Amino acid sequence: MTAHSVEDIKKNSRALRGTLLDSLADPITGAIADDDQTLIKYHGSYQQDDRDLREERRQQKLEPAYQFMIRTRTPGGVITPSQWLKLDAIASTYAERGLRITTRQAIQFHGVVKRELKATMQAINAALVDTLAACGDVNRNVAIAANPLQSDVHATVYATAAALSDHLLPNTRAYHEIWLDEERIAGTPEQDPIYGEAYLPRKFKIGFAMPPTNDVDVFAQDLGFIAVIEGGRLAGYNVAVGGGMGATHGDPETYPRIADVIGFVAPHDVIATAVAVVTTQRDWGNRAQRKRARLKYTIDDRGLDALKAEVERRAGFALAPARSFRFDHNGDRFGWVDGHDGRAHLTLRILSGRLQDGTDGALQTGVREIAQLLQDIDGAQLRLTPNQNLVVANVDAAHRAQVDALVAAHGLDTHARATPSRLAAIACVALPTCGLAMAEAERYLPSFIDTFEALLDRHGLCDAPIHLRISGCPNGCSRPYLGEVALVGKAPGRYALRLGADHRGQRLNTTYRENVDQTGIVEALDPLLARYAAERLPAERFGDFLVRARVIDPPRPIAIALQEAAA
């Protein structure tokens, strides 16, 4: 059978239905039909296979160990304790390797087999969490400043972002028909006023940042809203467009790009602005070349001024001049933070977001017991951060000590003992589930961070917070191009070593070594860390030092240029 193009599959899908029901009912294979593998993404799931077992199964003449990853749509990563308990039970019943917090504040379940896919989806929806549009050529999970619920402004920003997430959902009952057994609609499928019949040319991502924290890496988003707070009130948002991380090794037509700030909008104009950007990208994006279909390429091909003018035309208003802002970091702050209302918020370090019981502690059990403790506390939440960590949020004074006891008992207290670099490091999933992985990432991070810490120790730098990011391929799911030190997978055990991003998410790093193994990485880093220890200015960060010392020559950071202009 001829494979259909993604554009054809979308257009012929009857509002994302395709033949998914038939695929799920087919008992002969653990896979689904080719076209449905594209469509199921829009429902929040990917067909994968266990790559650790590929060769063995091939030799046994068995089909690959097909399995499904399911990703939630959880704007801002907000989950109530009772929802958490249900998601935790789903992980234990249907999935492998516990729960996985993603870099966009979702939960991923890995290893769900086809015959249990529908039951898993139903269980997720029974927890009042859905997975619609968590993947696919639509707006994805909206990332929102996670930590903490410090003020009314945080709550307002969250509410706006969550409303935008709902507004940009595809208009289809397919999800309810296929997964939730709701009645099938006969005749013409639904019309979609935002996406049309062909959806977007490519995935689309939105993030809301709350300066001074850039935990969402707002300049890595297709569309970013940067909250501007004046006199303690939310004045509006600076709008940033055209961020993105994905690239292909050796292909200069593809590249990571940080977003440009194009203006300022009032809070009530957020949805109109977003719809204008999304529909412009829908109509202007490159549908002939998927690798050049993200908004960042539309902007570079058509020009930023042209895009801005079109967005203003569609929105029906002009963007005001951008206002000044300042980010001081793009990581998470760990430990307890007091909110404005007597409640407190505890950020816990979860290495690579993997919540699973194992040698490092009973992490999954620990969070389950915290959720059990807090399930009757009004407003208590578990918040997923864009750095794959977990905030136990809105804890009243009476429960703090009990939360602390559970944290200590289950090995969830890494934040109290680890070096700043260990706390900041992130890695994408990669092997064994990711079909695109070229090298290990999540499974490499624990041993690499030991090696990295030993290097830091040798140079008296254990207290230096150096952002390390590892991705198993150049798609950049851990946003590695914004790491002060980054490893981007090229082949098993081999990485491109990139250096020199800042720690605010405002400057991309550049390649320092094209293709090195761990020995090569250590040999490259050792003299640079020695120089950093000897020559750094007070409070100077490693990435900034590398630029000042001309070890690397990165592009001028766009966001900083704007800050300077506004100052």
Q: Which residues are catalytic?
A: 71, 140, 203, 205, 428, 434, 473, 477
For ligand SRM, which residue has the nearest CB? Answer: 246
Report the nearest approach of ligand SRM to the CB of residue 108 (Å). 5
Binding flag, residue 381, ligand SF4 (CB under 6 A): no
Report the nearest approach of ligand SF4 to the CB of residue 433 (Å). 8
Q: What is the Cβ-side half-sphere exposure of residue 125, based on CA atoms within 13 angstroms?
A: 18
For residue 472, the partner it binds in ligand SRM, ligand SF4, none, with Cβ less than 5 to 8 A by kind, is ligand SF4
Binding window for ligand SRM (CB under 6 A); candidates: 3-11, 240-248, 312-320, 496-504? 240-248
Binding flag, residue 491, ligand SF4 (CB under 6 A): no
Nearest Cα to Cα of residue 205 among 174, 168, 175: 168
Binding flag, residue 434, ligand SF4 (CB under 6 A): yes
Residue with tokens 């296979």: 49
Closer CB to ligand SF4, 469 or 504, in the complex: 469
Nearest Cα to Cα of residue 396 among 406, 414, 381: 381
Binding flag, residue 373, ligand SF4 (CB under 6 A): no
Residue 58, sorted as left (phi over 0), alpha (psi -120 to 50) or beta, turns out to be alpha
For residue 46, the partner it binds in ligand SF4, ligand SRM, none, with Cβ less than 5 to 8 A by kind, is ligand SRM
Binding flag, residue 353, ligand SF4 (CB under 6 A): no
Binding flag, residue 428, ligand SF4 (CB under 6 A): yes
Which residue from 18, 267, 361, 476 is in contact with ligand SF4, where contact means CB under 6 A?
Answer: 476
DSSP letter at 257 equals B
Binding flag, residue 430, ligand SF4 (CB under 6 A): yes
Interface residues for ligand SRM in 4-63 (CB under 6 A)? 46, 48
Which residue from 471, 502, 504, 505 is in contact with ligand SF4, where contact means CB under 6 A?
Answer: 471
Residue with tokens 């991380």: 245
Question: Token pair of 66, please?
Answer: 């097909």
Binding flag, residue 206, ligand SRM (CB under 6 A): no
Strand pairing partners for 383? 78, 391
- Residue 66's H or E segment, with its range, is strand 66-71
Q: What is the 3-state secondary structure (H, E, C) of 189-236?
A: CCCCCCCCCCCCCCCECEEEEECCECCCCHHHCCEEEEEEEECCEEEE
Binding window for ligand SRM (CB under 6 A); candidates: 21-29, 476-484, 498-506, 511-519? 476-484
Query: 304-315 and 295-302 helices cross at what angle (nearest 10)?
Result: 110
> Considering Cα of 247, then 253, then 258, then 260, what sign does the dihedral take?
negative
Contact positions vs ligand SRM (CB under 6 A): 46, 48, 69, 71, 102-104, 106, 108, 140-141, 203, 205, 220, 244-246, 294, 353, 388, 428-429, 433-436, 475-479
